[in-house]
Amino acid sequence: MERLLGACGLACDACPAYVATRENDAEMIAAIAARWSEEYGHHIKPEYVWCEGCLTEAERKCGRARECDVRACALERGLPNCAHCDDYGCEVLAGHFEMAPEAKAALENIRANL
């Protein structure tokens, strides 16, 4: 089964916000909001958590997706993800990889198969 990846290479289909949204589970969304609030040290409302994947045209995208520079760049360039970019490994993406090495591995795998 093909993974649902965000522009940055993170697996949307493995994200608890995506899973809870697909299951339309408001209780799970509230629990995720509470956990993220504690983890990130500021209040996160459940409305911020609902997400159908960062590259979807659906309205429900987590608040972070709406603010993401990597996502914005991929959308502007019309790319399915950063692996398809001529500027792959740019400064913005490199910073993301420091926080999410699994995303780099996913994009590197795609690039190897292009």
Angle, helices 91-99/69-77, rounded to nearest 10 degrees: 130
Mean pLDDT (10-residue bins), the chain, 114 residues: 85 93 96 95 93 84 83 93 94 89 94 92
Residue 47 has what pLDDT? 93
CA–CA dist 50, 53 (Å, integer) = 9
Residue 27 has what pLDDT? 97
Residue 1 has what pLDDT? 59
Domain boundaries, the chain: 12-112
Residue entry with tokens 């949307």: 12
Q: At residue 11, what are phi and psi to the nearest 5 degrees?
A: -85, 100
CA dihedral sign, ordered 90, 92, 93, 98: positive
- Burial of residue 30, with CB atoms counted within 10 A of its CB: 0-12 exposed, 13-18 middle, 19 or more buried: middle
Residue 65 has what pLDDT? 80
Hey, which residues does 11 pair with through a beta bridge? 5
User: Does residue 32 contact residue 49 with C-beta atoms inside 8 Å?
Assistant: yes
